[in-house]
Amino acid sequence: MKVEITDVFLRDGLQDEPVIVSTAHKLEIAEALIGAGVKRIEAASFVNPRRVPQMGDAAEVIGSLRAVPDVTYTCLALNGKGVERAVAAGATDISVVTSASQAHSNANAGQAIDDALASLAVAVSGYPEIRFFAGISTAFTCPFEGNIDPDYLLRVVRAFKDMGISDIGFADTVGTTPTDQVLASMQHVREAEPDLTYYLHLHNAHGQALATASAAVETGVVRFDSALGGFGGCPFAPGAHGNIATEELVRHLHEAGHQTGIDEDRLAEAVRLARDVVTHSPATGLLDPAR
């Protein structure tokens, strides 16, 4: 199977590290990912820089990335204002994100799910030239609310479908959802909405994310988010673990006979660079980063 990987180190990976990585270093890491054959790179999120200072240079990053044939840079927005800022910075592919948990939506986006969806619907309809896709945080489990009812997840999926969005990602934001539960919730949604494309954004609390990804590939899921070095987390989801590591996911997929188009040796170089940059970047200056 051909599997598509979006590396989210520059966004999800860095948003939970207590350091400010320079724009130049972010661009260098993007080049390393491209050199390894990664075709989709999530490079920034347009969130409040006072809450997430690591993303304070989002516009500069999106405006400075080198155009490369077949490489897509994506970014993330949680509300209409974020979409506006992303478009103004020159973004072409924007992930609009909401939570499937009311409590996480309040903590992460500062508003209720329906308000976030309404704000995003207005923004999405205003930019027909942009390729929008959607991410749903805490799609299966929430640190505040526990298990998410798959019917509620479906309701959020349908809200995005009504915006004309057909690419939808499910995030296991904290990374504790058992494989069976991920598959069951996805199955529930896919049966109800079979014409949409679904992808997975897995965090990895108990080392279960690889097993979940492997099982999901067998059910036809061929797009995954992952982050160099397994960095990542959500500043507004207590206990959130790192993302599934891109290098582990790629190795695992290759061993299982799937194709990613990614060179494992070059990817290892990118991991080294990412670790080095995080180690040597200055602290955010926040004593208690955004928590």
CA dist 30 and 41 (Å) reads 7
Residue length, the chain?
A: 291
User: Shortest approach of Mg ion to residue 233 CB, angstroms?
Assistant: 7
Number of residues that bind Mg ion (CB under 5 A): 1
Residue 42 Cβ, how far from Mg ion at the closest point, in Å? 10
Tokens of 65: 């990335």
Looking at the chain, the number of H-run helices and the number of E-run strands are: 11, 10
Lay out the site mask for Mg ion across 8-47 (x = CB under 5 A, - = otherwise).
Answer: ----x-----------------------------------
Residue ranges of alpha helices (H) inside 163-227 are: 179-192, 209-218
Cβ-based nearer residue to Mg ion, 12 or 17: 12
Q: Contact region for Mg ion (CB under 5 A) — 4-12, 56-64, 101-109, 174-182?
A: 4-12
Compare residues 7 and 12 and give the one whose CB is closer to Mg ion.
12
Cβ atoms of 31 and 65 within 8 Å: the answer is no
Helix (H) or strand (E) holding 256: none
Q: By the 8 A CB rule, do 45 and 55 touch?
A: yes
**Which residue lies nearer to Mg ion by CB, 35 or 101?**
101
Strand segments, DSSP code E, in the chain are 4-7, 40-46, 72-77, 93-99, 131-137, 141-142, 146-147, 167-172, 197-202, 223-226
Contact 284, 19 (CB under 8 A): yes
Distance of alpha carbon 166 from alpha carbon 28, whole angstroms? 32
Q: Residue 73 or residue 170: which is nearer to Mg ion going by CB?
A: 170
First to last CA, the chain: 40
**Tokens 């054959």 correspond to what residue?**
37
Q: Name the residue with tokens 């049966």.
A: 191
Which residue is closest to Mg ion by CB?
12
Comparison of 227 and 250: residue with beta carbon closer to Mg ion: 227
Nearest distance, CB of residue 199 and Mg ion, angstroms: 13
Q: Which residues are catalytic?
A: 234
Instruction: Kindly state the smallest distance separating residue 265's Cβ from Mg ion, in Å.
Output: 27
Q: Which residue, 119 or 173, has its beta carbon nearer to Mg ion?
A: 173
**Least Å from the CB of residue 171 to Mg ion:** 5
Shortest distance, position 12 Cβ to Mg ion, whole Å: 4
Looking up tokens 């992930």, which residue turns up? 95
| Interacting residue ranges for Mg ion, rule: CB under 5 A | 12
